[in-house]
Amino acid sequence: MSTTRVCILHAHHDLRLETQALPPVGPGQVQVRVGAGGICGSDLHYYQDGGFGVVRVREPMILGHEIAGTIEVIGEGVSGLKVGQTVAVNPSHPCGQCLYCQRGQHEQCLHMRFMGSAMLMPHVQGAFRERLVMGAAQCVPVGGASVAEAACCEPLSVALHAAKQAGSLAGARVLVTGCGPIGALVVLVARFAGAAEIVVTDLVDEPLVLARRLGATDAINVARDAGKLDAYGVDKGVFDVAFECTGVDKAIAQAVPLIRPFGTLVQVGVGNTFNIPLNMVVSKEITLRGSFRFHAEFALAAKLLADQRIDVRPLITHTRPLEEAVAAFEIASDRRQAMKVQLAFT
């Protein structure tokens, strides 16, 4: 029987490289040789803290859901894919049958199985594996994009879904709070969508430097220069849309006064409970929208990468071989030196 190496978490700060059996390729399935995998914020929470909120790692779990690779084996009945083709792997697997899937709201699936998630028990195993057997429908061709670029398809999908929640961004004045990988991708998406102005805030300088490279018109360190936000609060606020990408109370409290009446706040960052200035949300008639994962946006992200209409390469700051997974996770934990850290599997 064939085997594959996997990157598996046993407990917080207990990340191991192990070997597991590789199942045979069944009908409707393919075998993918993974080329690159990005370390996500949720992966970091599992590694650093053993989970987030009430979601905890209760059994060994393979991490990872931002991956791409090449097709090695094609199962019976599969069409539209060929051996050697580079694909982005969609980690989202809705059931297709529940009431939300039937309404086309697949990201709210009642029986969602999302790779590398401890929300269910047994956990849904992730994709940090040298080889992976999975449903062919979850593999999306990315044309001539590299596997490193294609591995950014999943977080780009998150940013595209957030933009969809906001409506048209053409000519809009946009605020992005928090310039981690998702915030940075929101900047790219907002620029692609025709935003006239994009202002980014963060607590450290290094991601703000990248934000300017990606197209931000202003980038403000609110730990040091919060007063610079005052200019955007005139006349009850100037921003048409704010994308809140931190999930931190203070960032939300800073954003709301800067949103114009009838503007929109898209909450992308996840936290626990928040103190939101509801009086201002009500009095300015601000629309508050949550944004959770994605569905149709994955195919769009793959096409944008294949057509080179969005360039994610500046976000990929570090690449480490699978053997150095622990070091890669430590680097990804340092926002001053890393934006997107990827594991190289080949």
DSSP for 138-197, please give it: GEEE-TT--HHHHTTHHHHHHHHHHHHHH---TT-EEEEE--SHHHHHHHHHHHHTT-SE
pLDDT (tens digit, 0 to 9) for every residue of the chain, 346 residues total?
699 999 999 999 999 999 999 999 999 999 999 999 999 999 999 999 998 888 899 999 999 999 999 999 999 999 999 999 999 999 999 999 999 999 999 999 999 999 999 999 999 999 999 999 999 999 999 999 999 999 999 999 999 999 999 999 999 999 999 999 999 999 999 999 999 999 999 999 999 999 999 999 999 999 999 999 999 999 999 999 999 999 998 999 999 999 999 999 999 998 777 788 889 999 999 999 999 999 999 999 999 999 999 999 999 999 999 999 999 999 999 999 999 999 999 7
At the second CATH level, the architecture of 3-152+312-344 is: Alpha-Beta Complex (3.90)
CATH 3.40.50.2300 fits 158-290, yes or no: no
Q: Where does CATH 3.40.50.720 sit in the chain? A: 158-290
- List the beta strands (DSSP E) in 183-311: 197-202, 218-221, 239-244, 259-267, 287-290
Per-residue pLDDT, 15: 97
Two tokens, residue 16: 């191991």
Two structure tokens written together for 117 = 């998630």
> Among residues 30, 41, 46, 43, which one has the least CA distance to residue 88?
30
| Residue whose pair of structure tokens reads 């300015």 in the numeric block | 284
Question: Cβ distance 136 to 30 under 8 Å?
Answer: yes
Would you call 319 exposed, middle or buried from its count of C-beta atoms within 10 A (0-12, 13-18, 19+)?
middle
Tokens of 286: 């601000």
Quick one: which H or E segment has residue 281?
helix 278-283
DSSP strand pairing (316-321 vs 340-344):
parallel
- Where in the chain is CATH 3.90.180.10? 3-152+312-344
Structure tokens at 119: 């929300």
Count other C-beta atoms under 10 Å from residue 22's C-beta: 17
- Cα separation, 166 vs 105, in Å, equals 17
CB 186 within 8 A of CB 198: no
- Residue 84, classed as helix, strand or coil, is coil
Phi, psi of 291 (to 5 degrees): -140, 120
Q: CA dist 248 to 11, 263, 271, 274, 319, Å? A: 26, 20, 7, 8, 29
8 A C-beta contact, residue 57 and residue 126: no
Name the amino acid, one letter, at 15.
L
In angstroms, the CA 150 to CA 66 distance is 9
What pLDDT does residue 346 have?
78
- pLDDT value at position 155? 98
What one-letter code names the amino acid at 32?
V
